[in-house]
Amino acid sequence: MTRLAGKVAFVTGAGQGIGRGIALALAGEGAAVALVGRTTAKVDAVAGEIADRGGEAIALGCDVTDRDAVFATVAATVDRFGRLDVIVNNAQSLAPNSRLEDVTPDDAILCWSSGPMATMHCMQAAFPHLRERGGSIVNFGSNTAIEGAQFFGAYAMAKEGIRGLSRVAAREWGRFGIRVNVICPFADSPAALDFNEHHPRAAEAILRNTPLGRIGDCERDIGRAVVALVSDDLDYLTGATLMVDGGLTFLH
């Protein structure tokens, strides 16, 4: 599979869950992948998986809330591979679920700094490289924000901030051939599996309301969707939000 042969992708939160699935899918289509995560051992392990499959990847430890570290990590990626074509901003810290009146400033800052602020850092660091030949940015929203799910106040605020930032970037950077889109996923990430374990009745209700009747697979469903989105097949799509969630949420 070589749809992305010669391309270089930068994936945050790549050490587990959806980020790992995306990285594996991108590498499987021929892209060289920079795996970015706070826990170096985790991204090292994913780099090993990609190498075992015959792909190419580097593991880079980075806290995406640190702007200087993000710029240095993007620079290291370009130094290693000579170019940059795809940015996937998947990393996001979670605050404890709570009613809106109980959300603390620390909860909000945690979600905001690791979500829209970190996404903006990565986009700004990547921009000088992407504008050379165009490219694709994939950011991550959430159906919990679109639907206004209870107990997700800090997280929903951050995720809708990412969607707003993405639409602005799509308008400003389209003239450089840079496409910016958002995916809202429903997949078997560690956070989702933890929720299912602790809230089985709620998890069953969610599945009943999912038309395709299953939770998505991080690599097969979300990773392959990202591959399609950053490939030439969808090179006329920008500023869009794609609900890759088995039909759980419909945008109106």
Residue-wise pLDDT for 26-43, tens only, equals 999 999 999 999 999 999
User: Residue 73: what pLDDT?
Assistant: 98
Residue 26 inside a domain? The answer is: yes
Residue 55 inside a domain? The answer is: yes
Residue 11 tokens read as: 């994936």
Q: Which of 166, 172, 162, 119 is nearest to 141 (CA)?
A: 162
| DSSP secondary structure code for residue 220 in this structure | I
Residue 231 inside a domain? The answer is: yes
| Residue 109 structural domain | 8-187+218-242
pLDDT per residue as tens digits for the range 43-59: 999 999 999 999 999 99
Residue 159 inside a domain? The answer is: yes
Count of structural domains, the chain: 1
pLDDT tier at 252, thresholds 50, 70, 90:
low
Inform me whether the pLDDT recorded for 94 exceeds 90.
no
User: Residue 84: what pLDDT?
Assistant: 98
CA distance 177 to 53: 31
Inform me whether the pLDDT recorded for 251 exceeds 80.
no
By three-state DSSP, how is residue 11 classified?
strand
Question: Biggest alpha carbon distance in the chain?
Answer: 50
pLDDT per residue as tens digits for the range 166-179: 999 999 999 999 99
Residue 210 inside a domain? The answer is: no
CATH code for the domain in which residue 167 is found: 3.40.50.720
Residue 2 inside a domain? The answer is: no
User: Residue 98: what pLDDT?
Assistant: 87
User: Which residue numbers are catalytic?
Assistant: 155
Residue 197 inside a domain? The answer is: no
Mean pLDDT, to the nearest integer, of 142-149? 92
Other C-beta atoms closer than 10 Å to the C-beta of 174 total: 14
Inform me whether the pLDDT recorded for 194 exceeds 70.
yes
Residue 250 inside a domain? The answer is: no
By three-state DSSP, how is residue 223 classified?
helix
User: Residue 96: what pLDDT?
Assistant: 84
> What integer best gives the mean pLDDT of the chain?
95
What are 11's strand-pairing partners? 35, 88
pLDDT above 70 covers a percentage of the chain that reads 100
pLDDT tier at 75, thresholds 50, 70, 90:
very high
CA distance 108 to 22: 27
User: Residue 18: what pLDDT?
Assistant: 97
User: Residue 193: what pLDDT?
Assistant: 79
Q: Which residues, 6 or more positions from 62, have their beta carbon under 8 angstroms from its beta carbon? A: 12, 36, 37, 38, 69, 70, 72, 73
pLDDT tier at 90, thresholds 50, 70, 90:
very high
Amino acid at 74: V
User: Residue 36: what pLDDT?
Assistant: 98
